[in-house]
C-alpha cells in the first residue's frame, strides 16, 4: 500500500555474458532466501554513483568479477515491495526501480561469491533461465535483456 512520500530505491543490474560453445551464457547469482533467490547481479545505486558504476561495483561485490560496461538497456524494471516486507522497513522506500547494463566476460573468468549475500552462481544459456528465475515478470525481462545483450555482442564482433 503506497503512502504519501513513498519512493523507489534506484538500483543497477548487470547482464554479464560470456561466450560458450559458439553462444552466450548469462551469469546468475543466488541469494540465500526461500523465494526468488536467483537473479542477475544487482544492487542499490549509492549517492554520487552512475547506474554503470553501481552495476559494475555490485558485480564485483557479489561475484568477484571486474568488468567494463559495453552498453545500457532502455528497459527497466520497477516493482513494489509486498506489504509484509514493508512492515519491517523504517523508511519510505516502497519498491525498486532497476536499470540494466551489459558486460562481457572472458570464457575463463573466475567467479567468487562472498558466501553471505550471495551463496552460489550459475552460468546459464537463455533456454535455461526458467529453471532458475521463477517470478514470471522478472524472468520475462531477463530473457529480453539476455537477447538484447547477445545481439549487442554479435554486432560488436
Compute the distance between CA of residue 128 and CA of residue 139 in angstroms, rounded to an integer: 11
Q: In the predicted model, is pLDDT for residue 35 greater than 90?
A: no
Compute the distance between CA of residue 132 and CA of residue 114 in angstroms, rounded to an integer: 20
Q: What is the pLDDT of residue 113?
A: 95
> Average pLDDT of the chain?
92
Q: In the predicted model, is pLDDT for residue 59 greater than 80?
A: yes
Picking from 99, 155, 153, the residue whose alpha carbon sits closest to that of residue 126 is 153
Per-residue CA distances from 150 to 11, 94, 126, 134 (Å): 22, 33, 10, 22
pLDDT category at 80 given cuts 50, 70, 90 is: confident
Q: In the predicted model, is pLDDT for residue 75 greater than 90?
A: yes
| Domain locations in the chain as residue ranges | 7-156
Q: Mean pLDDT across the stretch 25-41?
A: 92
**Residues above pLDDT 70, as percent of the chain:** 97
CATH class of 7-156: alpha beta
Q: Which residue has the higher pLDDT, 47 or 157?
A: 47
Amino acid at each position: 500500500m503506497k503512502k504519501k512520500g513513498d519512493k523507489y530505491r534506484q538500483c543497477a543490474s548487470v547482464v554479464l555474458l560470456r561466450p560458450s560453445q559458439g553462444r552466450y551464457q548469462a551469469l546468475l547469482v543466488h541469494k540465500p532466501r526461500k523465494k526468488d533467490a536467483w537473479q542477475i547481479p544487482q544492487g542499490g545505486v549509492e549517492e554520487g554513483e552512475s547506474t554503470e558504476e553501481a552495476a559494475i561495483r555490485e558485480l564485483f561485490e557479489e561475484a568477484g568479477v571486474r568488468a567494463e560496461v559495453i552498453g545500457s538497456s532502455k528497459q527497466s524494471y520497477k516493482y513494489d515491495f509486498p506489504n509484509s516486507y514493508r512492515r519491517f522497513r523504517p523508511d519510505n522506500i516502497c519498491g525498486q526501480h532497476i536499470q540494466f547494463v551489459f558486460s562481457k566476460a572472458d570464457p575463463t573468468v573466475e567467479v567468487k561469491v562472498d558466501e553471505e549475500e550471495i551463496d552460489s552462481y550459475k552460468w546459464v544459456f537463455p533456454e535455461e533461465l526458467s529453471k532458475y528465475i521463477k517470478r514470471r515478470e522478472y524472468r520475462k525481462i531477463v530473457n529480453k535483456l539476455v537477447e538484447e545483450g547477445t545481439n549487442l555482442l554479435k554486432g560488436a564482433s
